[in-house]
Structure 1
Amino acid sequence: MTSAVESTDLGPAGMAIGVVGLGAMGLRLATGLVDAGAQVTAVDPSPEAATRAGEAGVTVVPAAADLAGCEVVVLSLPTPRLVLDVVTQLADAAAAAGAHLTVLDTSTVGPADARAAAEVAAARGQVYADTPILGRPESVGRWTFPVGGSAETVALAQRVLAPVAGLVEGVGDVGAASATKVLNNLMLGTINAVTAELLVLADAAGLDPGRWVDLVVGSGAASVSPLFRDVAARAVDGDFEPTFTVQLMHKDNSLALDLADQLRVPMITGTAAQHLNTMALSAGHGAEDSIAVVKVLQTITGRDVRRHAHRTT
């Protein structure tokens, strides 16, 4: 049975909340909590991220263990290994201080990774829940958070995450929310890959890829997803500044494909999209936006997907 709450119903004002990870999502999350009146303390190894957070009213401390006094710590981290390491540090520090801590993990990890982190926390008398974000950075305030955990933990997540969410919903036991997220991101990976292929095909067919994108986006056709609208337009303008990198797409899609292997469910389209991600990584495009996979196809075919107005002779 699931539970849901609209984010406007509750709030974290006055709560002591920690945040570990101040990247594209974590910084927006931390500043949203500050704006809602929470007392936010955060950790990030990047001096630039720490400075930005400090300017937004976040108290920055050196290590995750320094957050043991918080009621809740929210994670926004890039890899499952790092999540497990940080959960261990937090749970050890909270146990040593005689405190009770709930960790809400907005990172993208596999279901088994989430369950392993929950076991580490529980062994030290603490609580872990997977609460990944469905939404792009710029849609903060409208993010959807599936939550894997008890009804009590879901209720706490609804209160804490209200300022940055449109919806916070319990989806089952720990691991269920992570499964929800990795399936979603495999869908993103396939849309991203087929977008890249179609841009190259448009050029090969004698079309202006930019004009093709404009027509399709403006048509209201069922094929136009928010991701297509974003990445296709950026590709034809030659803009590969990362919102979500090739490297992260590859990592997240690996989690979904690993889950599919464990459950013996064939992922034909998803596997093909992942091959393109792997090729882009091998070609050195890992730090660029996910749609930089199109560069691999351009190299193979000799095509150019930029708007004709942007081309040089």
Structure 2
Amino acid sequence: MIPAEIMEQFKPGLVTSLSPLIRRITAPNASPMTGPGTNTYLVGHKEVAVIDPGMDDPEHIQTIVEACDGNLKWILVTHTHPDHSPGSQSLQALTGAPIYAHRLELQTVRDENFRCDHYLDEGDQIHCDEFTLTCLHTPGHALNHLCYFLEEEKLLLAGDMVMDGATVVIMPPDGGMTDYLTQIKRLKEMNIEALAPAHGRIMRPSKTILQEILDHRQARENMVLDALKQINKPTTIPDIVEIVYQDVPKHLHKMAGNTVYAILLKLKDDNTVSGEEKEGIWTLIHSSERHSDKND
């Protein structure tokens, strides 16, 4: 959890300068899932790119418009979850700026009214005299997730790939643990000095933060395997959650079940468990059985 004194930095309507090129405005949607709220980032001054307009709140959108001072050129979306993209339509209506996002559409939780003018994908760039943003397609949290790397500051506008003070929810089918871990490993190998998450404070040093994420995810995977061994029979996700997430309040267990499901799907890919549906039965495949399957 982010301390109360830090939350003061994220008051709705506050325009905070984070670096020579980056400003932050936080949407008024603080919650256990969004931390202090969704961060809208403004990149540049003479020409401005807005990343994640957030929720469609009139006061929040007006604050963005005023901060851009007539110089908004690009509305960029990291992904189309309802706390990130709905404000893009109102922002466009007020400024005429085009909307950019990845072409893939989410199947479950999504901004149902989202539409964009231009698609972005891996390696595409937003460029002007002040800055260059390079797009990275980073599925894992969401199939259509993009990060934007600010070349001049070696800063990654990371969307929901990382979250200050909490772990990112991975919710299949739009999210996948294997994809997420692959992308975190990839980001760790890049020359990134700092991470600007969609929820919370700037995070650095990036390599340390990203390694901590990998370590945490591996620990959770090990806990799921230990729970399956402890139960020692075909079981369900709620039963696994009860063991693995003893340190998490009960009201968050349903959301934790999404993460366990994502872990189980990864373990299934690894031929370590068998199962299919989130509400179905999951079984640990013992090493002797895995060896037998390979011989077959």
User: Under TM normalisation by the shorter chain, which class is it?
Assistant: 0.3 to 0.5
More helix as a share of residues: 1
More strand as a share of residues: 2
Under a length normalisation based on structure 1, what TM-score does the superposition of the two structures give? 0.39
The structure, 1 or 2, with the larger RCO (C-alpha pairs under 8 Å, 6+ apart) is 1
